[in-house]
Amino acid sequence: MKPVTIDTKWRYHGMETIILENNCLKAVILPELGAKMLHLIHKPSDTEMLWRNPHLTPHPLPCGSGYDDNFFGGWDELFPNDEPAMIDGKEYPDHGELWCQPWKYMIEERTDTHATVHLWCFGSVSAARMDKWITVNADRPVLKFRHKVTNLSDRPLDFLWKLHPALAISPNHRIDLPPCTMLRGDEEFSDLAGEEQFLWPTCRGKHGGTVDLRKVPPPESCSKEFLYGIDLTDGWCAMTDTARKVGFGLVFPKDIFTSVWLFSSYGGWRENYVAILEPCTAYPFDLQEAISNGTCAHLEGHSELECDIEAVLYEGFTSVSGIKKGGNITGE
């Protein structure tokens, strides 16, 4: 039985890596590129959960880089905004200030049964600091995250914070969310949903009929979709390969991550074939609008927000109806 290991010796195209591994999973993190998780592998089935852009090689970027033209894939941390915004006289860059900054890190614990790495980064525009601790335990297909957002300013901070795992998909994949209300994020980007608001998972199709959004279309559909899931009844989301019965899920506090965004390109956006399940503290993607609507996160001056999140890799299911901390899955 392989013990828990944490390794920082391997370099990826000259960049440092942090590799967390046990007998169930392997995670590869690039601290110099926004602490991006480049790989997340379910080892028993040899399944890569994260999508990588086949046309781009990840490399260090300057702050303020455009996100879409550098969409390498993997799992990013987006804060304090999505689209570029001018907030309180500060110009927030595209998809926030953390995804392309180098993060500092230290290994806090390393034993045969568990390992923890602590990563942190200061905002380049906002007066904020993001800390995250990632822990892997022996014999568990679960990555545990502890996050802390700190407002270092005297002034209040309104923000959007979003987990952004780009997931590898196929026509055999299925998306599961808890019961929630779906809002269309962008009519021009929507090829599937014909309604502006509906209950997950079915809606009137944009071109007629009924669409079941749990089913991933083939890349030949050349379609795309962008939705917000709000009024969540529970804090989880999942993507399952129904043919191989292997999947990826996130468990999060729904009082903090009050929405789950679904951004999907089924060949319809830059010919990419990827789906992103995005627990987020705000909606819509326009932070100024979210501030006006009261639908974003808020921190008073010199205050902190802490929470725990888990990424769960699982097998033996073709659908998911619930995920609890510790990797406890309900489904079929």
Q: Where is average pLDDT lowest: 46-50, 81-85, 186-190, 295-299?
A: 186-190
Tokens 């089935």 belong to which residue? 45
Average pLDDT over residues 100-111: 96
DSSP letter for each residue of 195-214? -SEEETTEEEBTTSSEEETT
Dihedral of the alpha carbons of 193, 213, 322, 29, in degrees to the nearest 10: -90
pLDDT in tens, 137-169: 999 999 999 999 999 999 999 999 999 999 999
Write down the pTM of the prediction. 0.97
The residue ranges of every structural domain in the chain are 5-331
pLDDT in tens, 123-141: 999 999 999 999 999 999 9
**d(C-alpha 169, C-alpha 165), whole Å:** 12
Cis peptide leading into 80, omega within 30 of 0?
Answer: yes
Under the banding of pLDDT at 50, 70 and 90, the label for residue 1 is: low
Phi, psi of 219, deg, nearest 5: -65, -25
**d(C-alpha 92, C-alpha 286), whole Å:** 11
**d(C-alpha 164, C-alpha 75), whole Å:** 5
**d(C-alpha 60, C-alpha 11), whole Å:** 13
Q: Does domain 5-331 have CATH number 3.90.1150.10?
A: no
Residue 2: its pLDDT value, please?
66
Under the banding of pLDDT at 50, 70 and 90, the label for residue 177 is: very high
Under the banding of pLDDT at 50, 70 and 90, the label for residue 80 is: very high
Give bridge partners of residue 199 from the DSSP assignment.
Answer: 181
Q: Measured in whole angstroms, how far is the alpha carbon of residue 239 from the centre of its chain? A: 12
Pick from 100, 44, 59: nearest CA to 77 = 100
Rounded to the nearest integer, the mean pLDDT of the chain is 97
Residue 264: its pLDDT value, please?
98
> What type of residue is 295?
T
**pLDDT above 90 as % of the chain:** 97
Phi, psi of 22, deg, nearest 5: -140, -165
Tokens 């390969």 belong to which residue? 241
DSSP letter for each residue of 212-263? ETTBPPPGGG-EEEEEEEES-SSSEEEEEETTTTEEEEEE--TTTS-EEEEE
Per DSSP, the three-state class of 178 is: coil
**pLDDT above 70 as % of the chain:** 99
3-state secondary structure 41-72: EECCCCEECECECCCCCCCCCCCCCCCHHHCC
Give bridge partners of residue 134 from the DSSP assignment.
Answer: 117, 145
Average pLDDT over residues 20-35: 97
Average pLDDT over residues 62-89: 96
Phi, psi of 64, deg, nearest 5: 90, 5
pLDDT in tens, 218-258: 999 999 999 999 999 999 999 999 999 999 999 999 999 99
**d(C-alpha 60, C-alpha 56), whole Å:** 12
